[in-house]
Amino acid sequence: MMEGRSYYCGDVTEQQIGEKVVLKGWVQRRRDLGGLIFIDLRDRAGIVQIVFNTAVSEEAFKLAEKVRNEYVLEVEGKVIARSENTVNPNLKTGKIEIQADRLAIINNAKTPPFMIENETGVAEDVRLKYRYLDLRRPVMFETMKMRHAITKSIRGFLDEEGFIDVETPVLTKSTPEGARDYLVPSRVHPGEFYALPQSPQLFKQLLMISGFDRYYQIARCFRDEDLRADRQPEFTQIDIETSFMSQEDILTMTEKMIKRLMKEVKNIDIETPLPRLTYEEAVNRYGSDKPDTRFGMELVDVSEIVQNAGFKVFASAVTSGGQVKAINAKGAASKYSRKDIDALGEFAARYGAKGLAWLKAENEGLKGPIAKFFTEAEQSQLAAATNAETGDLLLFVADKKSVVADALGALRNKLGKELGLIDESKFNFLWVTDWPLLEYDEDAGRYTAAHHPFTMPFEEDIEKLETDPASVKAQAYDIVLNGYELGGGSLRIYKRDVQEKMFKALGFSKEQAQSQFGFLLDAFDYGTPPHGGIALGLDRIVMLLAGRSNLRDTIAFPKTASASCLLTNAPGAVSEAQLDELQLKLKAKK
Amino acid sequence: MMEGRSYYCGDVTEQQIGEKVVLKGWVQRRRDLGGLIFIDLRDRAGIVQIVFNTAVSEEAFKLAEKVRNEYVLEVEGKVIARSENTVNPNLKTGKIEIQADRLAIINNAKTPPFMIENETGVAEDVRLKYRYLDLRRPVMFETMKMRHAITKSIRGFLDEEGFIDVETPVLTKSTPEGARDYLVPSRVHPGEFYALPQSPQLFKQLLMISGFDRYYQIARCFRDEDLRADRQPEFTQIDIETSFMSQEDILTMTEKMIKRLMKEVKNIDIETPLPRLTYEEAVNRYGSDKPDTRFGMELVDVSEIVQNAGFKVFASAVTSGGQVKAINAKGAASKYSRKDIDALGEFAARYGAKGLAWLKAENEGLKGPIAKFFTEAEQSQLAAATNAETGDLLLFVADKKSVVADALGALRNKLGKELGLIDESKFNFLWVTDWPLLEYDEDAGRYTAAHHPFTMPFEEDIEKLETDPASVKAQAYDIVLNGYELGGGSLRIYKRDVQEKMFKALGFSKEQAQSQFGFLLDAFDYGTPPHGGIALGLDRIVMLLAGRSNLRDTIAFPKTASASCLLTNAPGAVSEAQLDELQLKLKAKK
């Protein structure tokens, strides 16, 4: 500690009893108790109690009378033990207090718009406008501190493993795939634009072509998307690329990194190797490519059982190539009224389900409006398949495969929460592997890259890129934690002809491919090693490890859902002169 | 090492003799020597020699015949000792070679446009276009590795000292001071713009107001300036801010950081405390606010000696409020002909000097065209003041103070290099302190901030902000290394009234101040601690520590002087649809 400060307020304990100390901090609260003034002084380390007593210093006492919440103070005094009955066991500093003999008011403060306390009922807009006060709340500081602890652990691991931290450009080139780029007009080249990177993907591949062998960067990335609650226009990615490593090598190395991270930051031992599911298995069993495996309630395929049943909705779903699946909400029959179940049906409809059928398991068998459509044999097969016992609620969706998965997957997560099935202390990491390489985009009438256009297909599938693109699997992998995608990666294409085939499958003309990615294709000509990597979303890791429910709480100065900064009022108008320099004009507002 | 690779090529030494190894790398060169093929295989760690011998493997030998430079190979073989006479003492691996019994060509390569060697005569444009090949040159990889070592050392220090690494926004608000902002149009708020930050200045101050106490970030910053050789549109700054520390505390802490950095990265012991010069002293003695102190040749003020001399140019410079100064280029008289000195005069003219007078010290006294204007007494006073001895060349500039400093300062640096006075092994760090707070901008007809508008004046100077702004000194400091400004910082204003006075001195109306910096002024109302910090230019530190002469060599993917990326061709055109979404139009080109 410098400039006369002896300790952080929160670090003074009974070790210092008898010591004369100088502390600096903010006033958490002041209480006047007839001849004594108590001030809770706060800094980033915590709170300590200061006592002002006319018997010790008349002058300090008089000054202390003027003090208000959030004033900045310098206090000098002796650390003394609190009397037995005033010890505060909830406070690290609760066994001591500071008997002040000198006080200086370093700065005043107006009454803040909200209390500086962990629990706050204030609207988020107000917190964001006064972010500098919001960040005084200990829980916010602790989250930022954990964010730093996380990057420190990751850097420590990667440094030891021989990875080189390389900065890649933020002013780069617009690419047509995926989300929208943020554009930056060039003054030197009027009419031309830089783009902010959605990821350092191409640069990290180029570094592998340069023989860097092991690269990482904790990289800011940008996406001009319509924002959802869990997206930010700028976000941070732990970006890793390696050469000459197999998928297995990369997963193993990532697991080692995660294991160390969880130990260093949370003191939790994670068992490795992590569980793995193929994409198909994840979707089949959990209705999700990022399953929350902290609870069961897996999806059960009952298509075979119901395909000939009298319930036409089920039977025709199966015969038209779809399927019927169920989840069993154990013991939930009595918790969900018909009205509640109707609400679940509306919820499922948001995911495309045309209906939500249900049965309750009672002592007498399966009951409910659709029970009558099933024979006794079918009923007992259904009960056996879903492991239904008295009191259980069975929910069914019959539709095409993707709708069944989406609707039941979402219902499963919803019920898991509502029924309290989730052990919040668990950190269930898992891999989802063997992704499809391509997705068919109905709107565009063409295939798009499921991950990105540089993902390596399985060797044996390369020839199917032309004949049966939908069936091509990628050497790609996602890491999932508690139902959230933490990150993903892949082996990359490293031969020009394969990359050209991929661009063709994505509907690029040769000219388009060359004009957009010519420099990468050219680079493939000069000795490109096999390479691959992974990128992990730092903001989301912080959110999950810090137990926050909002990405904005993991970022010091975040933007709102409309991509605004309420603190600085960015974005804002700029002068005509600035636009002139860029040779830009605003279009008349519609 | 993974996926079967035993070692990096450059790491195989005589320790491994007898071992069977698998290596992967790039072909540096191939030599066929009648029945033997030698391949130098390169990776990031270095080069190792592979020998293909039909007696060992016919198949590998046949394949090796097809190999060309920069092919990517996998080689398996035994490490054997080289015969005495083929040992290469210049190579870490020079005592061994690999007797290959298996070879796989992982990827082909076209002949690269330049050799992958440290010494390259190729034009920088070509290097930048093929940056992925340029980065294969060992010196480039080593520079990037040193860049990482530098940030690692800095992070290590700051982590230990309790600093929290906090990310601040890249999409932020345009501010009017200093260099031009890069603007980013908003799609969600048409007609509005974000700006890329020139530094995290305001955010780091807000973090101090939040009580973070110690912040750092290795932060990307942006400046849309007309680029000089040593500027990049995006650059990286080691950004530090602290609360409750004095200037002395901050300098001491920074010195500790620099000392550790130099030890860890260069194994050089730097003596601390570092030398300090006030701004005035630096300019007076070296004609520069970032003096290179690796050599002497200080500026000598001879105004008093010459003020009454017959040489009117000198006398009138002094009487009109200017000065006359000299530098003594020791022993350089015979090295500079009249023509050479004329060239020095032209050089000085670039810095505003209207003329460059000179004298040579000979056995008989000072000689030269202006010698006749000085009395014998004046001549001997001049000789004494400049410590002139036979063979020395004295150069004089007579002008207003700033021109004398600029011209002689630049000449001093030029002569220091030309005369070989500079010990390139030295790392002369120093502080320049006590900067003027404001500079008068003749064009704008107002004062501008010498550092930035948030710099704290000396307490005793605050009242002079209104009466005598030019004389106000700042609690600001620059750190200088070998004639380069490495970084600078200051204590910051932390009281609203002082900040308002500063804005007023800068010619801001109350409304302008509020609309641009209202959030900061408002924040000052809620308990702002005294704070200050420093920012160091990472690119320049890398340049100086790696002994490079070009900032572009310290950045993996830099831009040219016209802010272009020759590799990706950024910036580039964007589609009409993208502009439509931003509600922007390009102005017709003039």
For residue B174, what pLDDT is reported?
A: 78
Which pTM was predicted? 0.96
Task: Let me know: does B410 contact B287? Beta carbons within 8 Å.
Answer: yes
Determine the Cα–Cα distance for residues B288 and B290; give it in Å rounded to an integer: 5
Contacts within 8 Å (CB) and 24+ apart, B560-563:
B560/B125, B560/B128, B560/B227, B561/B227, B561/B228, B561/B229, B562/A188, B562/A189, B562/B227, B563/A171, B563/A186, B563/A188, B563/A189, B563/B224, B563/B227, B563/B233
Interchain proximity B555–A167, CB inside 8 Å: yes
Segment B467-488, tens digit of pLDDT: 999 999 999 999 999 999 999 9
The C-alpha atoms of residue B163 and residue B19 are separated, in whole angstroms, by 47
A115-172 confidence digits (pLDDT tens): 999 998 999 999 999 999 999 999 999 999 999 999 999 999 999 999 999 999 999 9
Question: Which among B164, B253, B557 is the nearest to A203, CB-wise?
Answer: B557
What's the pLDDT score for residue A229?
63
Which residues on B lie below 8 Å from A574 (Cβ)? 174, 183, 193, 195
Give burial (CB, 10 Å; 0-12/13-18/19+) of A373: middle
Q: Cβ–Cβ contacts within 10 Å for residue A400, how many?
A: 13
Q: What are phi and psi of B79, to 5 degrees?
A: -80, 120
- In this structure, what DSSP letter does residue A589 have? P
pLDDT reported for residue A176: 62
Interface of A with B in 215-244 (CB under 8 A): 220, 222, 224, 233-234, 236, 243-244
- Peptide bond before A469: cis, by omega within 30 degrees of 0? no
Instruction: Say whether residue A273 is in contact with chain B using an 8 A CB cutoff.
Output: no
CA distance A570 to A589: 19
Tens of pLDDT, residues B44-85: 999 999 999 999 999 999 999 999 999 999 999 999 999 999
At residue A178, the pLDDT reads 58
Instruction: Kindly indicate the confidence band of residue A445, based on its pLDDT and cuts at 50, 70 and 90.
Output: confident
Are A27 and A108 spatial neighbours (Cβ–Cβ below 8 Å)?
Answer: no
Sign of the alpha-carbon dihedral angle for B308, B313, B319, B322 = negative
| Interchain CB distance below 8 Å, B108 and A527 | yes
Residue B112 has pLDDT above 90, yes or no: yes
Q: Burial level of B517, CB count in 10 A (0-12/13-18/19+)?
A: buried
Chain B residue with minimum CA distance to A106: B529
Among B187, B191, B562, whose Cβ lies nearest the Cβ of A573? B191
Distances (CA, A) of A207 to A110, A317, B42, B47, B206: 52, 50, 15, 19, 37
Strand spans (E) along A443-548: 446-449, 476-481, 484-491, 531-537
B206, A132 Cβ separation under 8 angstroms: yes
Q: Which of A140, A117, A138 is nearest to A8 (CA)?
A: A138
From the number of C-beta atoms within 10 Å of its C-beta (0-12, 13-18, 19+), residue B481 rates as buried
Dihedral angle, C-alpha B127, B131, B136, B137, nearest 10 °: 30
Q: Which residue, chain included where needed, has tokens 């259980």?
A: A392
For residue A114, which phi and psi values (nearest 5 degrees)?
Answer: -150, 160
User: In the numeric block, which tokens belong to residue A346?
Assistant: 């509306």
Residue A174 is predicted with a pLDDT of 78
A-chain residue closest to B180, CA distance: A578
Tell me whether B570 touches chain A (CB under 8 Å): yes
**Mean pLDDT, rounded, for B27-49:** 96
Identify the DSSP state of A587.
Answer: P
Q: What is the mean pLDDT of residues B316-345?
A: 96
Cα separation of the two ends of chain A: 58
Specify the pLDDT at position A577.
Answer: 87
Q: State which amino acid sits at residue A339.
A: K
CB contact (8 A) between residue B494 and residue A212: no
For residues B239 and B533, is the Cβ–Cβ distance under 8 A? yes
SS3 per residue for A534-554: EEEEHHHHHHHHCCCCCHHHH
Residue closest to B133 by CA, chosen among A176, A77, A526: A526
Element (H, E) at A345: helix A338-349
Instruction: Show the tokens assigned to B370.
Output: 């202006």
Q: Is A439 labelled a binding residue?
A: no
- Whether B180 sits inside 8 A of A187 (CB atoms) is yes
* ipTM, 2 dp: 0.95
Among residues A154, A158, A169, A172, the alpha carbon closest in space to that of A215 is found at A158
Describe the strand order of the beta sheet including B164-165 as a list of residue ranges.
B164-165, B214-222, B234-243, B531-537, B484-491, B476-481, B429-433, B276-278
Q: By the 8 A CB rule, do B222 and B184 touch? A: no
Q: Is the pLDDT of residue A1 over 60?
A: no
CA A384 to chain centre: 38
Q: Mutate one of B108, B171, B554 to test the A interface: name it (highest A CB count within 10 A).
A: B171
pLDDT band at B1 (very low <50, low <70, confident <90, very high): very low
Residue length of chain B: 590
pLDDT at A2: 42
Report which residue type is found at A238.
I
- Report chain B's mean pLDDT, rounded to a whole number: 95
Question: In this model, does residue A177 exceed pLDDT 70?
Answer: no
pLDDT at A332: 96
Subunit contact B587:A587, Cβ cutoff 8 A: no
| Residue B197 to residue B182: CA distance in whole angstroms | 8
For B122-153, the pLDDT digits (tens) are 999 999 999 999 999 999 999 999 999 999 99
B537 known member of a binding site: yes
**Are A371 and A359 a contacting pair, CB within 8 Å?**
yes
Partners of B24 on chain A (C-beta within 8 Å) are 243-244, 529
A497: enclosing H helix or E strand: helix A496-505
Taking contacts as CB-CB distances below 8 angstroms, the residues of chain A near B498 are: none
Residue A215 has pLDDT above 80, yes or no: yes
Q: A184–B174: do the CB atoms touch at under 8 Å?
A: no
d(CA A83, CA A96): 9
Helix axes B247-266, B138-160, angle to 10 degrees: 140
- Within 8 A by CB and 6+ apart from B253, the residues are A2, B161, B242, B245
Q: For the segment A313-354, what is each residue's pLDDT rounded down to a tens digit?
A: 999 999 999 999 999 999 999 999 999 999 999 999 999 999
Residue B2 banded pLDDT, cuts 50, 70, 90: very low
- Digit-coded pLDDT (tens) for B332-388: 999 999 999 999 999 999 999 999 999 999 999 999 999 999 999 999 999 999 999
The per-residue pLDDT for B180 is 87
With a CB-CB cutoff of 8 Å, which residues 116-155 of chain A face chain B? 130-133, 135-136, 141, 144-145, 147-148, 151-152, 155
Say what the pLDDT of residue A589 is: 61
Q: Residue A562 and residue B131: Cβ atoms within 8 Å?
A: no
- Supply the pLDDT for residue A441: 87
Closest-CA distance of chain A to residue B249, Å: 7
Portion 370-409 of B in contact with A at CB < 8 A: none
Q: Residue B359 is encoded by which pair of tokens? A: 């004298």
Percent of chain B's residues with pLDDT above 90: 89
Whether A539 has a binding-site annotation, put simply, is yes
pLDDT above 70: percentage of residues in chain B: 98
Write the CA distances from A205 to A477, A490, B553, integer angstroms.
17, 12, 20
CA–CA distance, B391 with B381 (Å, rounded to integer)? 17
Residue B475: per-residue pLDDT: 98
Given an 8 Å threshold on Cβ–Cβ distance, is B170 in contact with A196?
yes
Chain B residues whose beta carbon lies within 8 Å of the beta carbon of residue A197 = none
Which residues in A lie closer than 8 A to residue B182 (C-beta atoms)? 171, 184, 194
Q: Cβ of B212 under 8 Å from any chain A Cβ?
A: yes
pLDDT 10s digits, B422-465: 999 999 999 999 999 999 988 888 899 988 999 999 999 999 99
d(CA B147, CA B141): 10
Strands A429-433, A276-278: pairing is parallel
For residues B322 and B569, what is the distance between their CA atoms, to the nearest angstrom?
50
Domains of chain A, with CATH numbers?
14-107 (2.40.50.140), 141-166+197-277+430-553 (3.30.930.10), 295-422 (3.30.1360.30)
pLDDT digits (tens, 9 = 90+) for A237-296: 999 999 999 999 999 999 999 999 999 999 999 999 999 999 999 999 999 999 999 999
How many beta-carbon contacts under 8 Å exist across A and B?
354
* Cα atoms in the 13 Å half-sphere on the side-chain side of A194: 25
A508 is written with which tokens? 């690029």
Q: In what order do the strands lie in the sheet with A357-362?
A: A300-301, A323-329, A393-399, A357-362, A365-367
